[in-house]
Amino acid sequence: MAAGLAFAQSGLMGGTDGIHQINSKTLGKYRFSLGTGGNVTIDPWALTRGGVFYDDGVEQHLQDFKISATGNFYIGFGLADNIDVAVALPINYDRSYAEDYLEATGNIRPGDIDLFMKVSAPFLAEDNILGLAMQLHMMLPTGSKEIGLRPRHAWMLKDKGYTNPYTADEVVVGAHAIMTLDFTKRDVPLRFNLEGGFMYANLGSNTVVYSTGLNWFMTDWIIPFIEFSGEFRVEGEKYPIDFFEDPMTLTPGIRLHTPFGVDIAGGFDLSVRSMRNFGRSKSTEMRGTEDYTITYKDEKGYVKTYGYVPTATYAFTGLLTWYFGGAEKAPERECPQGLPPQDTVAKTDTLFKVDTLVHVDTLVKVDTVEKTESFVKVLPMSDTDEDGVSDDLDKCPDSPKGITVDTTGCPRDFDVDGVPDYQDMCPNTLPNIGVDSTGCAKDEDRDGVADDNDKCPATGKGIPVDTTGCPMDTDKDGVPDYQDKCPNTLRGVKIDKKGCPVNKREDLERLKKGINFKSGSTVLTKPSFKTLDDIVSLLNKFPEVNLEIQGHTDNVGDEEYNMNLSQGRAQSAVDYLIRKGISVERLRAKGFGPTKPIADNKKKAGRAKNRRVELVPFYNDEQ
């Protein structure tokens, strides 16, 4: 049963075919399966839409290669010929912002434990090509919170509160029906599997899961396959229901049934959603992000928002399973000529006595035979550093004890960067990349962008940089953010040396201070109308500019009340602009409540600063 993988987006395990598909076969009484598997991708778009996320409101971009992986360890057991039970422990990893590989390794975290039972139909004959089974699931909320980016299952999306990428944060149960058409029983080398089920989540999203697969038995042990699997949310209070915005994966691959009771499989997961954007256009990828925005608080307390990615755009996937115990019964065979007649001719035990024939110990005296061990004396080869390479072949006879060496006896250097693996903090550096003493790509200004890609290799310490290694310039006005007193200036606005608009009526930092509300209310004060009219004029002057209005509160009172209040206030301002003729497509309202303070809430002055409106421009052509 437990030959499939829980890392599959269907979230299921079962069967001995392919990777994500499930068949109706069971293990058999007292038989075990034990294994592991997973998938891995290096595409940052597999973490968030377009590789973009907002960390406490600050836009961040996932750069270069960002590893995302999901796997598990699992064990299954046959309670009876047609009943299996199993358990799987998922593990997850999203390398979004780790400083190095040691920190990255520490970010590997568990997911929700999956318990399940599979029962195959006992009323179908063994030679019937049709197989039927039912599978029951219970997923326990053991996954890590406050880390990761891509939710591993559709049912983890929550309409209210934060979505945790690695856990549903509740018990999720499900039931699944399985059908197999095994044409190999009619000497046709094909097997087809189809499965459909339902996962119930109280806080998350109720979800339909499905998988299908066609397997070609090229030989008894080489089986190419093609699979289609996925998940589909059937409720959408916060996130719209869209078949193509949920996990949907096409997987070609090959599975090997070795004669040693071990199965090995490998394949390539391709997101069906990504096929709609073969050119990898950033603007196409980001379209509709506002309808699928995820919010969660990480382990450092920072609130992150980003566009939901249902599954990796592409991933390499594989499994390794060992079957043992509960050997199959030998087939019963009849004598081809029936039972022989009883032998009444003689009793063989009266013909002779075996022990009177000869005394074996009188034939030869063993100790008189020549002893061969005196002819050859084998001397061991000398290996001073005990690295497994004899001194006569060892080019590095003083290698430190316990390190891995190559065939010449020298410390192994897998990426051939001149730094041996046991000292290399980045053992997979690409060829021809300059490295430092730790084996990692050189970064002289320590801005996070390797020198080979850094267009500004002498950036000052602590200055935020973009993907090219140059100082960030969010509003692209030519004044870098660390010097820009007005980092959200609209495109095209004339600025001074400090990066602020010359015309103060075009200064968003000034305008936002003029938007106010009646105490405890979403009703705008009368002076606010003049400010909003200035914003209308500004948006009409610069039609390529869109605007997000954000509402923020202090931490006094109930958090849910403050979240609703801030959202209502932002929406009130947006509604006013719409009434004044600004297109709804150019506006967004976001309420953050008390989650993004800019001052100390313990002080009255700090709370006053936190009760604010932010004006954040955005553009349709941003790449």
In a domain, 454, yes or no: no
pLDDT of residue 190 exceeding 80: yes
In a domain, 403, yes or no: no
pLDDT of residue 16: 84
Number of domains in the chain: 2
pLDDT of residue 64: 54
pLDDT digit string, tens, across residues 377-433: 555 678 788 878 888 888 898 888 888 888 888 998 888 888 888 888 888 778 778
In a domain, 290, yes or no: yes
pLDDT of residue 550 exceeding 60: yes
Question: Of all helices (H) and strands (E), which one includes residue 85?
Answer: strand 83-94
CB 507 within 8 A of CB 501: yes
Give percent above pLDDT 70 in the chain.
84
pLDDT of residue 106: 55
Q: State the maximum Cα–Cα separation within the chain, in Å, rounded to a whole number.
A: 125
Mean pLDDT across the chain, nearest whole number? 82
- Three-state SS at 12: coil
What is the domain-level CATH number for residue 561? Answer: 3.30.1330.60
In a domain, 292, yes or no: yes
Pick the last residue of a domain from 324, 341, 363.
Answer: 324
Please name the residues in contact with 200: beta carbons below 8 A apart, sequence gap of 6 or more: 172, 173, 174, 206
In a domain, 366, yes or no: no
Question: Of all helices (H) and strands (E), which one includes residue 527?
Answer: helix 526-541
pLDDT band at residue 504 using 50, 70 and 90 as cut-offs: confident
pLDDT digit string, tens, across residues 563-617: 999 999 999 999 999 999 999 989 999 999 999 999 999 999 999 999 999 999 9
pLDDT band at residue 341 using 50, 70 and 90 as cut-offs: low
pTM score? 0.53
Pick the last residue of a domain from 324, 339, 356.
Answer: 324
pLDDT of residue 296: 76
Cα–Cα distance, 514 to 87 (Å, whole number): 59
Top pLDDT among 79 and 331 is at 79
What is the domain-level CATH number for residue 164? Answer: 2.40.160.40
Mean pLDDT of 225-236: 92
In a domain, 477, yes or no: no
Tokens for 423?
């000292």
- How many residues does this entry show for the chain? 623
Pick the last residue of a domain from 296, 324, 352.
Answer: 324
In a domain, 150, yes or no: yes
pLDDT band at residue 9 using 50, 70 and 90 as cut-offs: very low
CB 35 within 8 A of CB 321: yes
Residue in 261, 275, 269, 271 with CA at minimum distance from that of residue 19:
269
Question: Which structural domain range is residue 586 located in?
Answer: 504-618
Top pLDDT among 69 and 326 is at 69
In a domain, 383, yes or no: no
